[in-house]
Amino acid sequence: MPTHYIQANTNGRLHPATEPSIPPLNRGFLYGDAIYEVWRTYGGVIFAWDEHWARMRNSARALHMKLEFTPEGILNEIRRTVAAYRSEVPGAGELYIRFQVTRGAGAIGLDIALADACDYVLMVQPCPLLTPAVQQSGLSLSVVRELRRNPAQSLDPSWKTGNYLNNLLCLREVRARGADDGIILNLAGEVTEASVSNIAFVRGRKIVTPPLSAGILEGITRSLVIRGVADSAGLEVSEETIRPSDFPAMQECFLLSTTKDIVPVGKVDEISYKVGPGTVASRLKASFASFAALYSKSHPELSI
């Protein structure tokens, strides 16, 4: 049970997220037959609205799932869900908005023809903040040893589906030896990403990050950094194949994700990386914050 209040909205019905919602025959529950997106707010404005919708449409297309709603309709439902959340938790700061879509329910069986219509569940809670310890020392990562990232030829990691078993089991392994998160390799032994974040390193003054062809989710944060945020910080990004044998030649490491934007990594197994003031990651994080502030200012229609 969550220890803090999470507001849910199932197909337009508002309820606490601890209460029952979708039926047992729901295909998201039975087979992971689902897709999702997570937005966060900066200054009370939903960030990167269109980018997340574009990725959701790609995921839906890949799964042959017909989306039955519009961004305008869902924005309206997000507003209702956020209003309900705020009436339960007054004074909440930046928000996390999860939009989980399933193929619906039907008789038991894998055939997608058995599904009725798409279901959605929205969930709103506070956006998790970086703890002072992580800001100061960075995360501790460990390379996953027992499992590899599922290859694009089977379940493509670029689809943001409701099936996170690969990621979840990778995280379990590294948590068991005390790490915060894992670096997952592909079948060729190349770095892909962490359990719910993209990864980048700093070599010299350059940011290096695995290419999409390594088999990763095309993170919105990663894309924004590559398409402009790095440039505004005077930094260069290169998409390169990275192997664990390259780690000693790197000076910094960081993770990228919607909820946490740029998070410093202080340690990967026995290797330590620079964290804190004066690092490339801190410069990039500041540049990302300026970009997000500008986005919020220029999108008053996404204020919630």
Please report, as ranges, the residues that interact with ligand PMP according to CB under 6 A. 38, 167, 193, 196-198, 217, 219-222, 256-258
* In the complex, least distance from residue 199 CB atom to ligand PMP, rounded to whole angstroms: 9
Select 102 or 221, whichever has its Cβ closest to ligand PMP.
Answer: 221
Select 115 or 121, whichever has its Cβ closest to ligand PMP.
Answer: 121
* In the complex, least distance from residue 275 CB atom to ligand PMP, rounded to whole angstroms: 20
Select 158 or 241, whichever has its Cβ closest to ligand PMP.
Answer: 158
The position carrying tokens 């909820």 is 259
- Measured N-to-C along each axis, helices 71-88 and 49-62 cross at an angle, to the nearest 10 degrees, of 120
* In the complex, least distance from residue 207 CB atom to ligand PMP, rounded to whole angstroms: 15
Select 38 or 95, whichever has its Cβ closest to ligand PMP.
Answer: 38
Which residues make Cβ contacts (< 8 Å) with residue 73, sequence separation at least 6? none
Q: Which whole-number Å values give the CA distances from 192 to 167, 174, 267, 302, in the listed order? A: 11, 16, 17, 32
b (16+ CB within 10 A) / e for 215-235: bbbbbbbbbbbbeebbeebeb
* In the complex, least distance from residue 68 CB atom to ligand PMP, rounded to whole angstroms: 23
Select 47 or 85, whichever has its Cβ closest to ligand PMP.
Answer: 47
Distance CA 34, CA 56 (A): 11
| Closest-approach residue to ligand PMP (CB) | 219
* In the complex, least distance from residue 251 CB atom to ligand PMP, rounded to whole angstroms: 23
Name the strand (E) or helix (H) holding 30.
helix 27-31
